[in-house]
Structure 1
Amino acid sequence: MRVLFLVQGEGRGHLTQALSLAQMLQTAGHQVIGALVGVTEHRSVPAFFSNTFTAPITPVFSPGLVYNAGTNELEPFKTTVQAIRYSRPFWRSLKLVHEIIETERPDVVVNFYEMLGGLTYALLRPSVPMICIAHQYFAFHSNFQRPKGQWLYRQAFRINTLLTCFGARELLALSFDKQPDEPRNRVRVVPPLLRQEITQLQPSPGDSLLAYVTQPGLKTELLKAHQQHPGIKIDAFHAAASGPDERVDDTLTYHAIDGKRFLEFMARCRAIVTTAGFESVCEAAYLGKPALMIPQPNHFEQSCNAIDGQRAGVGIAAQKFDLDQLLAYLPTHDYTVSERFRAWHAQGYFMFLAALNRATSATPRPTSTDGFSGNRLRALLRG
C-alpha cells in the first residue's frame, strides 16, 4: 500500500502522530511516499520532523492560528482575519495538494488535521480516498467532554475541525480510552499514536516534578509555586532557558527545550505539569506519570483535553500552576490507569491498518459533504 500524508505543521502533536504512523506502516511493509506539511511564512517544517521522517517532505502554505505574543492566548478573531487575508495563496495551495495527489496516485491519503486536506476534497474532489486522524474528531462523538460556556470558542473549534475532514472515508478519533464507535458520524475511536521512543523507555519512580512551560504567565506561576514549596524539586523545560541546564537554586532547574531529554526526564519524574496538549498527556499516561493539565487561555481544545483527561483518570485539570492541587491529588491517583492505557494503546497497530484497508477497498467514495450537510451540519454545530 502506498500512503501519502497531509500534516498540520503547527505544534508537535500532529507531526509526532504522523511519525508514529509512518513507523507502524513501515513495520507492516507499506510505503509512505511523502508528507505535505502545512507551514506559514513564519513557521517552517520543524527539524525534529524533517530529521526523522524518511520520505520526501513538501511544505505547503496554510494559514495558522494566531496567538497573543504576550500571554500566548489563542485569538480566534485575528485567526479568522488572517485566513481571509491569505485566501489567494491558500487557494494556490489547494490546487498544489490536488495536483500532487493526482500525480502521485497513492492508494490512500491520511490527513492529520490539516485544513488543506478537507477543503481540497470539498472543492476539487481528488479521486484518491482519504481518512483523517486526530483527537479533535472526538468532538463529533456523543461522549465528547467540553467546558461550560465558551460558546464562541466551541463553535470556532467545531467549524475548524469540520473543515479538515470533508470527503473523508472515516474519522479516526484518538482517545485516552476505549469508547464506542459512532458510524453515523463516520467516527471510529482509536488509541493514541505514540512514538516508538516512548514505548522503549523504562519508567522509574521519582521524587521530582517535571514542568513544560510554554507561556510567559506559566513561568511566573511556576516561580510563585516554587517559592511556596521550596523543598520540592522541579525540572522545568521552557524556550527561554539560557542553556541545557540553568540552575536557579537547589530545587529548581530550567532546561532548554529538547524532545529527547524531556522524555528521559518524564520517565523518571514523580508527576508532570503541562499545558493540556493531547500528545504530552498521553506520553505521561503511558509512562505512569500523573499530570496537572493547565489549558492555554482561550484554547477550547485544550480545555476539552483537560476535562477528558481527568475523566479518564490520567491526571487533574487546573486553571493555573497550583502545586497544592497537584500534591493533594497525587495520593489519590490510580496507577492502574497506566496499565489500562498501555493495553488500549497496544490495540492501535491492528486498528489503524484495518482502517487503511477499509479506505482502499470501500466504494464508491463519499461526496465532499456526505454526513455533514443540511440539518446534520446544523446538529453537529449545536452539539
Structure 2
Amino acid sequence: MRVLFLVQGEGRGHLTQALSLAQILQTAGHEVIGALVGVTAERGIPAFFSEKFTAPITPVFSPGLVYNVGTNELEPVKTTLQAIQYIRPFWRSLRYVRDTINAQRPDVVVNFYEMLGGLTYALLRPAAPMVCIAHQYFAFHPNFQRPKGQWFYRQAFRLNTRLTCFGARELLALSFDKQPDEPRQRIRVVPPLLRQEITELKPTPGDFLLAYVTQPGLRVELLKAHRQRPDIRIDGFHAEATGPDQVVDETLTYHAIDGRRFLDFMVRCKAIVTTAGFESVCEAAYLGKPALMIPQPNHFEQACNAIDGQRAGVGIASDRFDLEQLLAYLPKYDVDLSERFRAWHAQGYFLFLAALNRAASSRTRSNSSGGFFWTRVRQLLRS
C-alpha cells in the first residue's frame, strides 16, 4: 500500500502523529511516499519532523491560526480575515494538492487535520480515497465533553473541523480511552499516536513538578504559585529561558525548550503542568504522570481537551496555575490508569492499518459509483 500524508504544520501534535503513523506503516511493510505539510511565511517545517520523516516533504501554503502576541490568546476573527486575505494563494495550494495526488497515485491519502485536504476533496475531487486522523474529530462524538457557553468559539471550531474532512472515507478520532464508534458521523475511535521515543521510556517516581509554559501570563502564575509554596520543587520549560538551566532559587529552575531534555524530566517528575494540547497530555498519561491542564485563552479545542482529559482520568482541568488544586488531586490519581492507557494505545497498530486497508480496497467500488464525496452529499441531503 502506497500512502501520501497531508499534515497541518501548526504546532507539534499533528506532525508527531504523522511520524508515529509512518513508523507503523513502515513496520507493516507499506510505503509512505511523501508528506505535504501546510506552512505559512512565518511558520516553516520544524527540524524535528524534517530530520525524522524519511519520505520526501513538500511545504504547501496554508493560512494558519492567529494568536495575540502579548497574551497568546487565539483570535478567531483575525484568523478568518487572514484566511480571506490569502484566498488566491490558498486556491493555488488546493490545485497543487490535487495535482500531486493525481500524479503520485497513492492508494490512500491520510490527512492530519489540514484544511487543504478537506477543501481539495470538496472542490477538486482527487482520485485517491482519503482518511482523516485527529483528536478534533472526537468532537462529533456524543460522549465528547464540551465547556459550557463559548457559542461562537464552539461554532468556529466545528466549522474548521468540518472543512478538514470533506470527502473522507473515515474519521479516525484519537481518544484518551476506548469509546464506541459513531458510524453516522463516519467516526471510528482509535488510540493516540505516540512517538516511539515515548514508548521506550521507563518512568520512575518523582519529587518535583514539571511545567511546560508557552503563555506569558502562565509564566507569571507559575512564579506566583512558587512564591506561595516555595517548598515544592518546580522545573519549568519555556521559550524565553536564558539557558539550559536558569536557576531562580533552590526550588525553581527554568530550562530552555529542548525536546529530549523535556522527556528526561517527564520520566522523573511527580506531575506535569501544561496547556491542554492532546499530544503532551497523552504522553504524560502513558508515563503515569498526572497533568494539570490549563487551556490557552479562547482556545476552544484545548478547553475541550482539558474537560475530556479530566473525564478520562488523565489529570485535572483548570483555568490557571493552581498549585493547591494539583497537590490536592495527586492522592486521588488512579495509579493503574497508565497500564490501561498503554493497553489501549497498543491496539492502535491494528486499528490504523485496518482503516487504511478499508479505504484503499474501497477505491474501485467508489469510482464505479460516482465517487464517495457525491454519495455522501446525497446521503446528507436525504437525511
Report the TM-score range of the alignment, normalised by the length of the smaller protein: over 0.9
How far 1:139 moved relative to its partner?
Answer: 1.1
| 2:364 is aligned with 1:367 | no
The runs of at least 4 consecutive aligned structure 1 residues that moved more than 6 Å come to none
Residues 5 and 265 of structure 1: is their aligned pair in 2 closer, same or farther, counting only changes over 3 Å? Answer: same
What corresponds to 1:173 in structure 2?
173
The separation in 1 between residues aligned to 2:93 and 2:209, in whole angstroms, is 43
The alpha-carbon deviation at position 337 of structure 1 amounts to 1.1
TM-superposed CA distance for 1:259, in Å, is: 1.1
Within-5 A mapping of 1:194-233: 194-233=194-233
SS in structure 2 at match of 1:339: helix
Q: Secondary structure in 2 aligned to 1:171?
A: strand
* Residue type at the aligned position of 1:82: Q
Q: What is the RMSD of the two structures over their aligned residues, measured on CA atoms?
A: 1.1
Could you tell me the TM-score, scaled by structure 2's length?
Answer: 0.97
Question: Paired residue for 2:276?
Answer: 276
Distance in 2 between the 1:137 and 1:339 partners? 25
Shift of 1:282: 0.1
Number of residue pairs aligned between Structure 1 and Structure 2 = 376
Partner in structure 1 of residue 140 of structure 2: 140
Residue 235 of structure 1: how far off its partner (Å)? 0.7
Deviation at 1:307, TM superposition (A): 0.3
TM-score normalized with structure 1 length: 0.97
Look up the match of 1:293: 293
Q: Tell me by how many angstroms 1:244 deviates.
A: 1.1
Between 1:337-346 and 1:359-368, the stretch displaced more is: 359-368
Aligned-partner Cα distance in 2 for 1:373–1:229: 56
Who is 1:245 aligned against? 245
Moved more, 244-253 or 315-324: 244-253
Verify the 8 A CA contact 1:166 1:368 in the aligned structure 2: no
CA distance in 2, matches of 1:209, 1:374: 52
Inter-CA distance 75–374: structure 2 relative to 1 (3 Å threshold): farther
Counterpart residue number, 1:162: 162
- Is the Cα contact below 8 Å between 1:122 and 1:369 reproduced in 2? no
Per-residue deviation, 1:264:
1.2
Specify the code of the residue in structure 2 equivalent to 1:42: E
What amino acid does structure 2 have at the position aligned with 1:240?
E
| One-letter amino acid of the structure 2 residue matched with residue 79 of structure 1 | T
* Residue of structure 2 equivalent to 1:80: 80
Partner of 1:352: 352
CA distance in 2, matches of 1:368, 1:321: 48
Provide the residue aligned with 1:58 in structure 2: 58
Secondary structure, aligned partner of 2:376: coil
Give how far 1:144 is off: 1.2
Q: Does 1:186 align with 2:186?
A: yes
Change over 3 Å in CA distance of 1:318–1:369 after alignment to 2? farther
Residues 369, 255 of structure 1: alpha-carbon distance in 2 compared, 3 angstrom cutoff = farther
C-alpha distance in structure 2 between counterparts of 1:34 and 1:127, whole Å: 17
The CA deviation string for residues 257-307 of structure 1, in whole angstroms up to 9 with x for no partner, is: 111111111011000000000000000000000000000000000000000
Do 1:166 and 1:369's aligned partners in 2 also have CA atoms closer than 8 Å? no
Contact 1:167 1:369 in 2 (8 A): no
SS of the equivalent of 1:367 reads helix
Return the alpha-carbon distance in structure 2 between the equivalents of residues 260 and 146 of structure 1: 33
Counterparts of 1:11 and 1:114 in 2: how far apart (Å)?
Answer: 12
Q: State the AA in 2 paired with 1:291.
A: A
Deviation for aligned residue 1:374: 4.8
Residues 368 and 134 from structure 1, CA distance in 2 versus in 1: closer, same or farther, beyond 3 angstroms?
farther
**Distance of 2:324 and 2:15 partners within structure 1:** 34
Aligned twin of 1:38: 38
Once the two structures are TM-superposed, the CA of residue 65 in structure 1 deviates from its matched residue by 0.4
Identity of aligned residues (%): 80
How far apart, CA to CA, are the structure 2 residues paired with 1:368 and 1:276? Answer: 36
Q: Does the Cα contact within 8 Å between 1:121 and 1:368 map onto a contact in 2?
A: no
2:235 alignment counterpart: 235
Question: Could you tell me how far 1:243 is from its partner in structure 2?
Answer: 1.1
Cross-structure match for 2:28: 28
Q: Which residue of 1 aligns with 2:127?
A: 127
The answer to whether the Cα contact below 8 Å between 1:213 and 1:236 also exists between their aligned partners in 2 is yes
1:319 alignment counterpart:
319
Amino acid at match of 2:143: N
Deviation at 1:368, TM superposition (A): 5.3
